[in-house]
Chain A
Amino acid sequence: MTSPAHSLPVPIPRWAYAVALVALVVTWLVLQENGIALGHAAETVHEFFHDGRHALGVPCH
């Protein structure tokens, strides 16, 4: 009765969760990293993305 293709399930492979984890880590590195993962090098990352962090509403200094 309803069009079947629209409600079709899309099988999600196991590696999809690895992709999601990588995506979360990348987001963390760009927007949140303050030294937990990168240590002293975090300052460079932090300063490089600084305008982006503020513009995207992330708490900063």
Chain B
Amino acid sequence: MSTDEGLTYKGLTYKGLLARGVGAGAVSGLLAGLVGVLVVEAPIRAALAVEQARPAEPGGGHEHGELFSRGTQVVGGVLAAVVVGVAVGALFATAYARSRRWFTTEAPFVRAVALSAAAFGAAAVLPAVKYPANPPGVGAADTVEYRTVLYLGLIAAGLLVAVGASALASRLGRWSPPVRATAVALAAVAAVVVLLVVFPATPDTVPSDVPGGLLWEFRLASLAETATLWLGLGVVFGLLVDPATRRAEASAV
């Protein structure tokens, strides 16, 4: 192990990982943005129509669609996914570099996809189960800060569960893989159930004029976009990092 430190490996520097993370994030963000245009825009448009059919709120409040045209907001939606993809890709590269000891597998592609699946679970699926995504016109303006705190808190707790699960997996390294995987999965599921029970329910109720079908169409479409962002990031990053690692391995022998 200690002899590894002195050697240099092409393509395995932090800079190399960061460049791959940013590139993979840009690609997956663009793909997620396209999913947004093709799949999420329809229920957003339908929800905006429901919102606009309402009588104007007393005291003004938060009005949509006044600063920008719908077309500009669609472009903004794609851009949001690309910018978030790049930012998350940079974080992903650092997490990948730091998480070397967390994995029980050696293959870089599998590691990248496993890391992105864990991030997708903690940062998208978990909050979607407790605080599902809502189209415009559903959330109340005066609860948005409280809802944001709950949402970010649940993501942070979910990331801690993911880190804890990988730490447990590496600690149980001597166990046979099926037994270890079962133990880690049971512990992670138990922790997630505790989180879902402990975190308070969302303060908002869905207004009665929003059709249930529209709500579910939007929620599933939103999950498709976040899945594209996270899993796309892991797959593209894995494809970029795997050959570089193999080259480095070959040159180090």
Contacts and interface: CB of A to CB of B under 8 A. Distances in A.
A, B co-complexed: yes
Interface string A44-55: 100111111111
Nearest to B248: A5
B12 interface: yes
A56 B225 contact: yes
A44 B94 CA distance: 31
Nearest to B135: A54
Interface in A26-60: 26-27, 30-32, 34, 43-44, 47-60
A54 B133 contact: yes
29 contacts: A6-B245, A8-B9, A12-B14, A16-B18, A16-B97, A19-B18, A22-B90, A23-B88, A26-B84, A27-B88, A34-B145, A47-B76, A48-B68, A51-B36, A51-B74, A52-B76, A52-B84, A55-B36, A55-B44, A55-B77, A55-B81, A57-B127, A57-B133, A58-B148, A58-B151, A59-B144, A60-B134, A60-B144, A61-B140
B144 A34 contact: yes
A11 B77 CA distance: 36
A43 B64 CA distance: 10
B226 interface: yes
B128 A57 contact: yes
A52 B78 contact: yes
A60 B245 CA distance: 42
A50 B36 CA distance: 12
Interface string A2-30: 11111111111100100110111011001
Given A27-B84, A47-B67, A51-B36, A59 B148 contact: yes
Interface in B23-72: 33, 36, 40-41, 44, 62, 64, 66-68, 72
B91 A5 contact: no
Interface size range on B against A: 35 or more
B152 to A, nearest CB: 8
B4 A4 contact: yes
Nearest to B47: A54
Interface string B195-233: 000000000000000000000001001110110010000
Interface stretch (B100-108, B161-169, B173-181, B185-193): B100-108
B13 A10 contact: yes
A9 to B, nearest CB: 6
B215 to A, nearest CB: 12
Contacts of B81: 52, 55-56
Nearest to B35: A55
A42 B134 CA distance: 21
